[in-house]
């Protein structure tokens, strides 16, 4: 496998790093948190104007027509700067599935707005006590359409989104994914505070009216396959963000330990500190390598279920170790909210919890290996 980025992908990575470096400063992010602002609209618009937001969306609807990897490398930079922009939600959870499975009507209505950043999209995949491919949200027949009833939790950018993808269980136990404007009657939105202190959303669906025209891909499309397609790309995107957050954490730790003096010498020269730094470097490289492997396979149209699972394990397990080590070598400074590290710590913790328990990933990987033995 050759993970070398194309010229276009490198350009997306560089312009994203430049924009976020200029705009997602510690002072600005701290003020956004104080003001209770979830999304930095100014930065989001700058990314959209630079072509980052629509990088992986089709040229016919205002995108750049690049592959998944272009958005993945941008998301690594989002994690590196802990930037409050909805690139994961809008591009990966909404834009890409609409481009892949959407009808012509879906694409014409939503893709141009998602590509230029004037609209924000998301997908409501999470429900309490079940997996996304087995939603408890019910679609009850209502004349020629359906009525959706259920609760969706932890919807990324759910308070700001203009359109949402909603999985639901049909009366025959098949699963459908509906494309719905978030302003529709029958969707009650409630804020949910997260680890990063930025809100996600809880959607209460109470008789939300939809039709077969709202089904992603049309009536014959397998909703489970659509959900699995989205989950693979979303989980890989989370791993890419973790790679960025982990790298930023060890960079801050390296800078601090070279400056912090104890016993008339930098603490970076102490054996215990260098061991923690070395372990963190290995973990960060493992997170990045496995995330890139999964992203590359998805971009190439290859099967990637096992590679995504491996990336999830390293991101959850390695990310936990890296950010904790960074806090430890900083001492009391590491938990000071006036210092940037706490933001990456909280982001990494939220990514870890979203990705799921690392032991569960090992169990799933073991089962997959045994099945193919």
Residues near 85 by Cβ (< 8 Å), separated by ≥ 6? 39, 40, 43, 44, 47, 78
Residue ending a domain, among 86, 119, 152, is 119
pLDDT digits (tens, 9 = 90+) for 242-274: 999 999 999 998 887 888 878 878 877 788 888
Contacts of 81 (CB under 8 A, 6+ apart): 20, 21, 24, 244, 248
Least trusted range by pLDDT, from 44-48, 124-128, 215-219: 215-219
In a domain, 256, yes or no: yes
Q: Mean pLDDT check: name the lowest of 149-163, 257-271, 334-348.
A: 257-271
Residues 337 and 233 both lie in one domain: yes
In angstroms, the CA 307 to CA 294 distance is 5
Q: What domain range includes position 68?
A: 7-119
Angstrom distance (rounded) from CA 119 to CA 332: 42
If asked whether residues 136 and 205 sit together in one domain, one would say: yes
Predicted pLDDT at 256: 79
Q: Is residue 244 part of a domain?
A: yes
Section 221-245 average pLDDT: 97
> Considering only 48-62, 114-128, 329-343, which range has the smallest mean pLDDT?
329-343
In angstroms, the CA 315 to CA 303 distance is 20
Give the mean model confidence (pLDDT) for residues 357-367. 80
At 325 the pLDDT is 92
One domain, residues 194 and 245? no
Please give the average per-residue pLDDT across 306-319, as a whole number: 95
Residue where one domain finishes, among candidates 119, 148, 171: 119
Which domain CATH number covers 316? 1.20.140.10
> Do residue 281 and residue 323 come from a single domain?
yes
How many CB atoms neighbour CB 335 within 10 A?
12
The pLDDT tens digits for 188-226 are 999 999 988 889 999 999 999 999 999 998 888 899 999
- Burial class of 1 by CB neighbour count within 10 A (0 to 12, 13 to 18, 19+): exposed
pLDDT reported for residue 2: 67
Confidence of residue 335 (pLDDT cuts 50, 70, 90): confident
Among candidate residues 169, 167, 164, the one with its CA nearest the CA of residue 180: 164
Tell whether 232 and 332 lie within a shared domain. yes
The pLDDT-based confidence of 373 (bands split at 50, 70, 90) is: low
Report pTM: 0.95
Residue 171 lies in a domain: yes
Tell whether the model's pLDDT for residue 31 goes beyond 80: yes
The whole-number pLDDT of residue 358 equals 77
* Among candidate residues 221, 237, 265, the one where a domain is terminated: 221
Per the domain annotation, does 1 fall within a domain?
no
Distance (Å, whole) CA 341 – CA 333? 9
Quick one: pLDDT at residue 170? 95
* pLDDT-wise least confident of 9-23, 103-117, 155-169, 334-348: 334-348
Number of domains in the chain: 3
């Amino acid at each position: 496998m050759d993970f070398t980025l194309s010229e276009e992908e490198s350009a997306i990575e560089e312009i994203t790093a430049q924009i976020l470096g200029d705009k997602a400063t510690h002072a600005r992010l701290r003020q956004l948190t104080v003001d209770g602002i979830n999304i930095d609209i100014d930065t989001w618009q700058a990314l959209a104007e630079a072509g980052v937001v629509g990088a992986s969306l089709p040229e016919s609807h205002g995108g750049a027509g690049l592959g998944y990897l272009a958005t993945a490398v941008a998301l690594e930079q989002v994690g590196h700067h802990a930037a409050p922009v909805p690139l994961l939600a809008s591009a990966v959870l909404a834009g890409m599935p609409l481009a892949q499975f959407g009808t012509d009507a879906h694409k014409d209505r939503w893709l141009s707005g998602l590509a230029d950043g004037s609209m924000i999209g998301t997908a409501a995949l999470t429900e309490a006590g079940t997996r996304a491919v087995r939603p408890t949200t019910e679609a009850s027949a209502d004349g020629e359409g359906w009525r959706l009833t259920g609760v969706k939790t932890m919807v990324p950018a759910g308070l700001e989104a203009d359109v949402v993808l909603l999985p639901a269980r049909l009366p025959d136990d098949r699963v459908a994914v509906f494309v719905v404007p978030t302003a529709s009657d029958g969707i009650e939105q409630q804020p949910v505070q997260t680890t990063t202190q930025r809100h996600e959303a809880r959607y209460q669906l109470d008789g939300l009216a939809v039709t077969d025209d709202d089904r992603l891909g049309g009536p014959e499309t397998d909703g489970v396959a659509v959900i699995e397609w989205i989950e693979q790309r979303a989980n890989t995107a989370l791993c890419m963000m973790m790679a960025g957050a982990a790298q930023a954490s060890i960079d801050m730790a390296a800078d601090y330990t070279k400056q912090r003096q104890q016993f008339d010498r930098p603490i970076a020269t102490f054996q215990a500190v260098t061991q923690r730094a070395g372990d963190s470097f290995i973990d960060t490289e493992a997170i990045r390598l496995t995330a890139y492997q999964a992203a590359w396979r998805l971009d190439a149209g290859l099967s990637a279920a096992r590679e995504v699972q491996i990336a999830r394990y390293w991101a959850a397990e390695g990310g936990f170790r890296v950010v904790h080590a960074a806090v430890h070598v900083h001492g009391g400074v590491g938990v000071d909210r006036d210092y940037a590290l706490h933001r990456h710590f909280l982001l990494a913790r939220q990514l870890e919890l979203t990705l799921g328990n690392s032991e569960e990933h090992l169990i799933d990987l073991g089962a997959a290996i045994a099945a193919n033995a």
